[in-house]
Structure 1
């Protein structure tokens, strides 16, 4: 098949803009030796075949996003367009920001006014969970001038500023304060989202409550970079909200130029990894709200063999309170498949999950296709494997409704079944 030849486009600084499509065919590009060398250094992103010394055929692999590569005359902006619109993509990333790889080097893009509303709901939910047990405080060293001693006196400053005067005093003390990088980041993201005109009333009210709870936290100056933070035991409950806050600020870091291009942070993501993480976390959260308990995305607590050498890797195991004693036990197992056609191997895999976890219901979720159910005899009983679909082509607001509907179906199947296989 002949590859389509593409006319070159350039960014305002002269960098070549190469646009490929997720799952697309070959396209032909005129490249300089320096640009060829740049792309060859990133062979994990695309396939390359030469036609002539200066004409090359290119085809995307299995990542999507946009990133700036190389330097000088070899600079290339590579954009691999996903099959889903960018607002849908960011909605998925908002549930799994750890699956995206960001690059601070700016890439040119088209303005999209609907990106931030797609992030607002997930950010509000994560921030509410982060602050469930109160706003995080930490000790910060503060220099101040006070009429009484607090902490320690800075004698050098006292003598230089007020020689022979006993008060006020130049002191340094440790203040237990909410004004820490983590809270500044949450506040900056909340204020940025409040400037979005088409937020839902519920999201706007939740953001206003979040801002009020962060009283005493300083606002970031205009144009200031996001504060640095690292995950640790102290801030572990902020672990989901902080990456989302950074995502909000990245998605709003636009520099309007000639009205046709904007500059945003680069981002690359494997769609299959993103789909799996999104389904696990979104469905897990919906089940937690619906039936209580605890979702465990990518649960690795079960093994297929007695010697515990073969780890089972379901995308989601949800633990729900037992109706008999209230103890949390595995109640739902789910696996996401970023493919269009079901395979027999998927059924074999889910059968192993159900048997090992002692469940009579298993759930496979595909990106497209027709839902159905397969009954599998096991001993004197049988288990049912449900095959669901979540259509990523739907608007992101409809995706939220689809996840809630899926959680309802899973709960209904769980309640109607015997629940657990006989030991």
Structure 2
């Protein structure tokens, strides 16, 4: 099996690849890929912000090409960012068990299997699930529209719907789907795979999800509290799973984290949580923001904090990307200035993953607007990182004049 190892946002490297595999990677936009002009049979590959592992299945080749992309941040830190974004109260301590694994997929498989064991180790959760059936006796409620459409006025059988107390509920369906998905991915360690097969056997009676079907919805409650960490990871696995069928029978199968989104989610959730004591409300991906009076040009800031009277007081955008050699990208400043203008704010905040300076402030000429650029060090321990986010939120509130 051919394995290609890359590092997130590292310099481009030349690797031996078939033309079909190279074209597949280029078409899928997982990495930047182009034929090496100096070495026939080689492709120049450069990883961007996607991390994880994928297998490229090329027709006519016996073994797939496995591409592994390692993040720049430590694996444990990546899973802290993920866990906190999904459930800030349940994951606040950052203790996500990834064992000794140094790659994304093995660590994810280990963490997920441990959470599933904690969820279902003492038995599957039961609950009520809406069932639809054709029966000779009435149970529950008659589906009148279906009765007319299917039976054309006949009295029997009756189309009914009823609630059944069962283990075949949304929570267990999600766990089965994510477990099935992990077992098909390349690079799951043998020991983890063995334990996961044991978990899969416990879920054997649960209805599998149909590919392309919407994920079943579940709501946090006291009854499913032990399931919640596993369910959050299951949703991340199912949403981050990548299966693409490309022209010519090519298939790419794997799992990828988009670090841009992961960093954005963490920053916005952390700001929202840190601002809770100040009242108001924090909105992620604010939708009701427009640049023009006619409300035709829609804008979507990553985070807006509205004060107690419902007026916007703080706007922030998270930017996970490399800065310039001497500072931050100018385009980000133009974007933030537009947000401040549309929201009527005198200050705006850009939050970066690291950077060349811890803080930079720009006073826009003739307007009085100040654009702040902050840098977070993701290599810091979780407690220190959350403390830094708390101080950042406090500074934003203090300068918002509320």
TM-score, normalized by the shorter chain, greater than 0.5: yes
Q: Which residue of 1 aligns with 2:283?
A: 296
Q: Which residue of 1 aligns with 2:259?
A: 271
Q: Deviations over 1:12-40 (max 9, x none)?
A: xxxx1111222223333333455445445
| Residue 137 to residue 44, structure 1, CA distance change in 2 (3 Å) | same
Q: Which residue of 1 aligns with 2:75?
A: 86
What secondary structure is seen at the aligned counterpart in 1 of 2:267?
Answer: helix
Say yes or no: does 1:330 pair with 2:321. Answer: no
Q: Deviations over 1:325-366 (max 9, x none)?
A: xxx332221111223332343333323322321233322101
Q: Deviations over 1:225-282 (max 9, x none)?
A: 86567368xx4867x98972415778xxxxxxxxxxxxxx821243223322332233
Q: Which residue of 2 aligns with 1:393?
A: 379
Matches within 5 A, 1:371-386: 371-372=358-359, 374=361, 376=363, 382-386=368-372
Q: Which residue of 1 aligns with 2:10?
A: 24
CA–CA separation in structure 1 for the residues paired with 2:365 and 2:20? 61
Q: Which residue of 2 aligns with 1:321?
A: 308
CA–CA separation in structure 2 for the residues paired with 1:355 and 1:35? 47
Q: Does the 8 A contact of 1:30 with 1:55 survive in 2? A: yes
When normalised by structure 2's length, the TM-score is 0.60
| Residue 343 to residue 247, structure 1, CA distance change in 2 (3 Å) | same
43-52 or 33-42: bigger deviation = 33-42
| Residue 230 to residue 418, structure 1, CA distance change in 2 (3 Å) | same
Q: Deviations over 1:25-64 (max 9, x none)?
A: 3333333455445445545523222334434443334432
Say yes or no: does 1:359 pair with 2:359. Answer: no
CA–CA separation in structure 2 for the residues paired with 1:319 and 1:242? 33
Q: Which residue of 2 aligns with 1:139?
A: 130
| Residue 417 to residue 63, structure 1, CA distance change in 2 (3 Å) | closer
Q: Does the 8 A contact of 2:34 with 2:43 survive in 1? A: yes
Give the number of the structure whose alpha-carbon radius of gyration is greater.
Answer: 1
Task: Kindly state the Cα deviation for residue 303 of structure 1 after the two structures are TM-superposed.
Answer: 1.6
Q: Does the 8 A contact of 1:65 with 1:81 survive in 2? A: yes
| Residue 65 to residue 187, structure 1, CA distance change in 2 (3 Å) | closer
83-92 or 310-319: bigger deviation = 83-92
CA–CA separation in structure 2 for the residues paired with 1:269 and 1:248? 9
Q: Which residue of 1 aligns with 2:111?
A: 116
Task: Kindly state the Cα deviation for residue 150 of structure 1 after the two structures are TM-superposed.
Answer: 5.7
Matches within 5 A, 1:23-422: 23-32=9-18, 35-36=21-22, 38-39=24-25, 41-42=27-28, 44-50=30-36, 51-71=38-58, 73=61, 75-94=64-83, 111-112=106-107, 116=111, 138-140=129-131, 175-176=162-163, 179=166, 181-184=169-172, 221=203, 230=214, 235=217, 244-247=232-235, 266-287=254-275, 289-322=276-309, 328-338=310-320, 339-340=322-323, 341-369=327-355, 370-372=357-359, 374=361, 376=363, 382-395=368-381, 397-398=382-383, 401-415=384-398, 417-419=400-402
Q: Does the 8 A contact of 1:20 with 1:80 survive in 2? A: yes
| Residue 378 to residue 282, structure 1, CA distance change in 2 (3 Å) | same
What secondary structure is seen at the aligned counterpart in 1 of 2:79?
Answer: helix
Q: Does the 8 A contact of 2:73 with 2:378 survive in 1? A: yes
CA–CA separation in structure 2 for the residues paired with 1:402 and 1:227? 38
* Paired residues, number: 311
Q: Does the 8 A contact of 2:316 with 2:349 survive in 1? A: yes
RMSD, aligned CA: 4.8
> Structure 2 stretches of 5 or more lacking a match?
87-102, 120-125, 142-157, 178-200, 221-227, 239-252
CA–CA separation in structure 1 for the residues paired with 2:237 and 2:12? 35
Q: Does the 8 A contact of 1:293 with 1:318 survive in 2? A: yes
Q: Does the 8 A contact of 1:86 with 1:115 survive in 2? A: no
What secondary structure is seen at the aligned counterpart in 2 of 1:24?
Answer: coil
| Residue 92 to residue 382, structure 1, CA distance change in 2 (3 Å) | same
What secondary structure is seen at the aligned counterpart in 2 of 1:321?
Answer: coil
> Structure 1 stretches of 5 or more lacking a match?
1-9, 11-15, 98-107, 125-134, 153-170, 190-218, 251-264, 323-327
Task: Kindly state the Cα deviation for residue 82 of structure 1 after the two structures are TM-superposed.
Answer: 1.8
When normalised by structure 1's length, the TM-score is 0.57
CA–CA separation in structure 2 for the residues paired with 1:272 and 1:284? 18
Q: Does the 8 A contact of 1:95 with 1:277 survive in 2? A: no
